[in-house]
Amino acid sequence: MKTPKRLQPLVDEGLIDEVIRPLMSGKEADVYIVRCGDDVRCAKIYKEADKRSFKKAVEYREGRKGRNSRRTRAMEKGSNYGRQEQEQAWQNAEVDALFRLANAGVRVPTPYGCFDGVLLMELITDEAGYVAPRLNDVSLTAEMATAHHALVMKDVQRMLCAGLIHGDLSEFNVLLDHTGPVIIDLPQAVDAAANNNAKRMLLRDVNNMTQYYGQFAPELLRSKYAQEMWLKFESGDLLPDTELTGQFVESEHSADIESVLAEIQAAFEEEQDRKARIQAETEDEY
């Protein structure tokens, strides 16, 4: 097919040899199937900010660090330069998350890099080599649903141990290949330790997945992995191989721990803010 304008620079650079066909046009990106040498891959072209429909960007961005504080402040002020930086940060967030998660053993598409606002990654396929379906497009037996729910919970645990929460996990952002679920679509991944919405997002992500698999295996609906994971994560006791039970009893004791931890966290954040303000002010003097 004719090469789309945004993919031309990658063709010129020799990163893509041929554009095979468009795959999907999503809310935030257009996805194409491309050939790179002997490999068939996936190219995700990010839409520009004004064409995206992702409304809650601010909530997700919180806690993300710019490479320097001048840049971070420009991003916060929303100046022209700041907006460009924000675009770059948005585009790089997904490739960064993919590298980090692939390293942590989470099943995600293998990333090959992000160039000129285009993410090149592994094309996820089914056994026959066709593009893998989204969970939303398949129906599972109870046994499969139970097994795959466990795989996804483990991947969410590995992600959390790697410091990230997906933030938009649902049956639309998980594909099914011959080995099981593959998590995609990570530009909004949030920093688990620095974002005040982290716990809420983790609960929402896990709940979405549990509701989905629970249609096929209703006993899963009673599990409480998110609460269990978060409590262990906050107290520094969550490791990738920590065995979770999916059970969580909201005892007075754990409520106490939670509120003490919340207070410590708030005091820590206040101190970080104070230091950042001092730093910003001294920099402004130059």
Ligand X SMILES: Nc1ncnc2c1ncn2[C@@H]1O[C@H](COP(=O)(O)OP(=O)(O)OP(=O)(O)O)[C@@H](O)[C@H]1O
In whole angstroms, how close is the CB of 190 to ligand X at the nearest point? 15
Q: Under the criterion CB under 6 A, does residue 114 sit at the interface with ligand X?
A: no
**Is residue 173 close enough to count as binding Mg ion by CB under 5 A?**
yes
CB of 179 to Mg ion, least distance (A): 20
When asked if residue 171 is in the footprint of ligand X (CB under 6 A), the reply is no
Instruction: Note whether 42 binds ligand X by CB under 6 A.
Output: yes
- CB closer to Mg ion out of 177 and 258: 177
In the complex with Mg ion, the residue whose CB is nearer, 122 or 185, is: 185
- CA distance linking residue 171 with residue 179, whole number of Å: 17
Kindly tell me which residue out of 171, 185, 205, 228 binds ligand X, with binding defined by CB under 6 A: 185
Q: What are phi and psi of 136, to 5 degrees?
A: -60, -25
Query: Which residue in the set 86, 91, 173, 223 belongs to the binding site for ligand X (CB under 6 A)?
Result: 173
Taking CB positions, which residue lies at the least distance from Mg ion?
185
Distance CA 166, CA 221 (A): 20
CB distance 64 to 89 below 8 Å: yes
User: Judged by CB under 6 A, does residue 24 bind ligand X?
Assistant: yes
How far is the C-alpha of 231 from the C-alpha of 222, rounded, in Å?
Answer: 18
Site membership for ligand X, residue 132 (CB under 6 A): yes
Which lies closer to ligand X via its Cβ, residue 136 or residue 279? 136
Window 226 to 285, contacts with Mg ion (CB under 5 A): none
Nearer to ligand X (CB atom), residue 160 or residue 169: 169
Part in contact with ligand X (CB under 6 A); list of ranges 55-63, 122-130, 141-149, 252-260: 122-130
How far apart CA 34 and CA 219 sit, in angstroms, is 42
Confirm or reject binding of residue 206 to ligand X (CB under 6 A). Answer: no
205 binds Mg ion (CB under 5 A): no
Stretch that binds Mg ion, among 87-95, 138-146, 181-189, 239-247 (CB under 5 A): 181-189
Closest separation in Å from C-beta 274 to Mg ion: 38
From the list 68, 60, 130, 128, the residue with the least C-alpha distance to 90 is 60
Q: Is 185 in the site for Mg ion (CB under 5 A)?
A: yes
The reply on whether position 66 binds ligand X by CB under 6 A is no
The site for ligand X (CB under 6 A) is made up of 23-24, 26-29, 31, 42, 44, 109, 121-124, 131-132, 134, 172-173, 175, 184-185
